[in-house]
């Protein structure tokens, strides 16, 4: 019996030690709320479509903008619950514009919201020039009742409303007088050393996305450099290079206020393409080539086409060690236009054509290319040596020759 007691004591002691070391390995990053639009580095901007326009004395007076809101069935434990949030933009005294969200039109929200902006300022502002601390976050609690089950749901919701042009012109000229866009989603940020981590998700039940800004200013971009894989957006359980360390994004707490990171030791970031893609690309290696450069472009991508003359010079300078192949990602009916552009630019390296409507299982899909142009360098073993967007073209020559 004494032996058993001693064993249990030692076991509990060892578990305690393991627990202590496990806790030390996990790093907690407190997250603070992003109150203003300029602090929000996640989520996408949606341009709204209007349902009604009202006039007064022959001039546009107010516009009604609906926003679709859906609670998926797996969250309501029944079926999809759909609602519309109605937002009104209204002219005030010919020199101001209001953005109004009222309980009269939206009985399921918990409060009225109204912002007023000077009309002349709205005409000047753009996404990159809007002054900081102007567009404030709107926070609601949506109260839903499932008519089928009678169950009640309270759904937190956050968004920024953007009452100026974000670069699109409406066919209806009246809408251009008071345009409206919205950026829906939750966003918080935390600091790890000198780097800033922005955490965002569309709704409370969506998976989070993570964006990292080096020194708080320079965002990670989709590239592979110095054997480190960088992404524009990271997901849970990704390993990231941050503040000079490799860390795994482990989890968020239930209140979305703490991010947990775990140091990763002996991390190897080498990446290889699949064996099937390696076999497919092997035909593009010249006999003397150690490397193959993949140039992802499209007829719709102006920077891609503008870079072709510079790419031609690089192709000539590194031809003893590297081959090139273009990957044109476009609509099928644009491939003839692509060939014309290549001919006009004097591009003579081979091309792979990928139809946008058949992206799945393509080279674009497998390599996760979402930014154009993108340049990827692989060796004969299929190892990814380098990956970057338009900024990477200037470095390719040095990487290949050195």
Total residue length of the chain: 402
- Token digits for 117? 């902006």
Lowest-confidence region among 5-19, 116-130, 254-268, 340-354: 5-19
Q: What is the pLDDT of residue 271?
A: 80
Return the top range by mean pLDDT from 6-15, 37-46, 139-148: 37-46
Residue 23 pLDDT greater than 60, yes or no: no
Q: What is the pLDDT of residue 85?
A: 93
Around 320, how many Cα atoms within 13 Å sit in the side-chain half-sphere? 3
- Token digits for 4? 């058993």
Residue 13 pLDDT greater than 50, yes or no: no
Residue 18 pLDDT greater than 60, yes or no: no
Average pLDDT over residues 291-315: 95
Could you report the per-residue pLDDT of 250-277, keeping only the tens digit for each?
999 988 899 999 998 766 667 888 889 9
The confidence band for 376, taking pLDDT boundaries of 50, 70 and 90, is: very high
Cα separation of 363 and 339, whole Å?
19
Return the top range by mean pLDDT from 231-235, 295-299, 362-366: 295-299
Q: Are 316 and 324 in contact (CB under 8 A)?
A: no
Average pLDDT over residues 376-385: 92
> Torsion-angle region of residue 382: left (phi > 0), alpha (psi -120 to 50) or beta?
left
Around 232, how many Cα atoms within 13 Å sit in the side-chain half-sphere? 12
State the Cα angle at 207 between 204 and 208, rounded to 5°: 85
pLDDT above 90 coverage of the chain, percent: 54
- Token digits for 125? 């502002």
Pairing of strands 186-192, 113-118: unpaired
All structural domains of the chain: 38-184 (no CATH), 187-263 (no CATH), 275-401 (3.40.30.10)
- Higher pLDDT among residues 192 and 23, named by residue: 192
Cα separation of 166 and 129, whole Å?
11
Q: What is the pLDDT of residue 28?
A: 94
Q: What is the pLDDT of residue 322?
A: 95
Query: Average per-residue pLDDT in the chain?
Result: 86
Around 116, how many Cα atoms within 13 Å sit in the side-chain half-sphere? 6
Average pLDDT over residues 210-217: 91
Cα separation of 181 and 46, whole Å?
6
Instruction: List alpha helices for 257-373, DSSP H.
Output: 275-281, 302-306, 308-317, 335-345, 363-366
Residue 317 pLDDT greater than 70, yes or no: yes
- Token digits for 362? 């393509």
Q: What is the pLDDT of residue 14?
A: 43
What does R_g of the chain's alpha carbons equal in angstroms? Answer: 27
Q: What is the pLDDT of residue 6?
A: 47
pLDDT above 70 coverage of the chain, percent: 90
């Amino acid at each position: 019996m004494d032996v058993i007691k001693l064993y249990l004591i030692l076991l509990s002691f060892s578990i305690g030690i393991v627990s202590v070391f496990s806790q030390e390995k996990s790093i907690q990053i407190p997250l603070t709320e992003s109150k203003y639009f300029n602090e929000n580095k996640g989520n996408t901007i949606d341009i709204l479509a209007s349902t009604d326009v009202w006039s007064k004395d022959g001039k546009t007076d107010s516009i009604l903008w609906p926003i679709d809101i859906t609670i998926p069935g797996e969250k309501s434990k029944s079926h999809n619950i759909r609602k519309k949030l109605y937002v009104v933009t209204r002219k005030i005294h010919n020199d101001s514009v209001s953005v109004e969200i009222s309980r009269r039109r939206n009985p399921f929200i918990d409060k009225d919201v109204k912002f007023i902006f000077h009309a002349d300022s709205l005409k000047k502002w753009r996404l990159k020039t809007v002054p900081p601390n102007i567009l404030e976050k709107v926070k609601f609690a949506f109260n839903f009742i499932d008519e089928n089950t009678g169950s009640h749901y309270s759904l937190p919701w956050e968004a920024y409303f953007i009452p100026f042009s974000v670069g699109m012109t409406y066919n209806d000229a009246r809408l251009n007088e008071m345009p409206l866009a919205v950026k829906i989603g939750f966003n918080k940020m935390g600091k790890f050393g000198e780097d800033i981590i922005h955490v965002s998700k569309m709704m409370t039940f969506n998976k989070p996305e993570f964006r990292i800004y080096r020194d708080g200013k320079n965002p990670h971009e989709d590239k592979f450099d110095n054997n480190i894989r960088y992404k524009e957006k990271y997901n849970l359980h990704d390993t990231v290079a941050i503040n000079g360390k490799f860390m795994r994004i482990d989890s968020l707490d239930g209140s979305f206020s703490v991010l947990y990171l775990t140091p990763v030791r002996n991390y190897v970031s080498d990446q290889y393409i699949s064996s099937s893609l390696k076999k497919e690309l092997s035909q593009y290696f010249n006999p003397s080539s150690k490397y193959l450069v993949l140039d992802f472009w499209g007829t719709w991508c102006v920077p891609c086409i503008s870079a072709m003359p510079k790419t031609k010079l690089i192709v000539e300078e590194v031809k003893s060690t590297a081959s090139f192949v273009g990957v044109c990602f476009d609509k099928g009916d644009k491939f003839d236009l692509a060939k014309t552009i290549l001919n006009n630019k004097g591009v003579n390296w081979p091309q792979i054509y990928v139809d946008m409507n058949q992206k799945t299982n393509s080279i674009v899909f497998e390599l996760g290319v979402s930014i154009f142009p993108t340049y990827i360098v692989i060796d004969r073993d299929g190892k990814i040596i380098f990956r970057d967007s338009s900024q990477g073209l200037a470095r390719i020559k040095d990487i290949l020759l050195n």
